[in-house]
Amino acid sequence: MKWGLFGGTFDPVHLGHLRCAEEILELFHLDRIIFIPARVQPLKTDRVISPFHHREQMLKLAIEGNPSFSISDAENRRGGKSYSIETVRHFIDNSPDGTELYFILGQDAFHEIQMWKEWKELARLCNFVVMTRPGYEIKKLADTFPPDLASLFQYDSTADGFRGPTGNSIFFRKLTLLDISSTDIRNRVKANLSIRYLVPDPVRDYIK
Ligand code: ATP
């Protein structure tokens, strides 16, 4: 089994998230993608985030009808700040033996990875798929990881990824660029502007 773990605040989920997830599912022949809304995103504590149940409900509406997409409330059940290392450990313990985990994140998030709890250990525990995002150039691993760590990851041209000491890899993938962000959507809603075609219609109706 190959599972994609897609963490985020999803305040709200938008077509940028959904289209990227769809493309990664195909590119890596994943069996499923699990959207994991954060309870408290440790790096976004400076702003007010919509209550978990609203973000979860919007995700449910957004993925309805896609049998490859599901939602986990693991981070909400765990309580406290939502650290990805704990989430990945949860899925290692709660997936069939031999399941390959692919942690999905945008390039903006990857560039901050050194601020994540136990990030070096996280890079050892699972594969990473780093999605290009408008405004962020594809970078070499060494531009994000300190050189001593980056040197442990060797480029494997067959897989087009950087394979690390535990056999897990970091993949950079250029996907269809959709310059959509939840921040922009929230700003439009506040300004009474349309968000049609930025989020799925049921999510738009829910926000209304
Ligand atoms: P906000 O604007 O509130 O910070 P966001 O739009 O970045 O939110 P998140 O829920 O924080 O959305 O994103 C979850 C993950 O999806 C992050 O790793 C982020 O980099 C990635 N992501 C979000 N939007 C896009 C997009 N349009 N294209 C590619 N990746 C994206």
**pTM for the whole thing?**
0.95
Which tens digits make up the pLDDT trace of 2-35?
999 999 999 999 999 999 999 999 999 999 999 9
| CA 177 to ligand 1: nearest atom | 28
Using a 6 Å cutoff on CB, does residue 110 contact ligand 1? no
Using a 6 Å cutoff on CB, does residue 173 contact ligand 1? no
Residue 164 has pLDDT above 90, yes or no: yes
The amino acid at 100: E
d(CA 119, CA 115): 8
**Alpha carbon 175 to its chain's center:** 14
Residue 137 has pLDDT above 70, yes or no: no
Closest CA to 7 of 53, 58, 71: 71
Residue 87 has pLDDT above 70, yes or no: yes
Strand partners, 155: 162
Looking at residue 140, what is its pLDDT? 72
Looking at residue 201, what is its pLDDT? 98
CATH code that applies to domain 2-180: 3.40.50.620
Using a 6 Å cutoff on CB, does residue 59 contact ligand 1? no
Looking at residue 148, what is its pLDDT? 83
Domain layout of the chain by residue ranges: 2-180
d(CA 95, CA 84): 16
Looking at residue 46, what is its pLDDT? 85
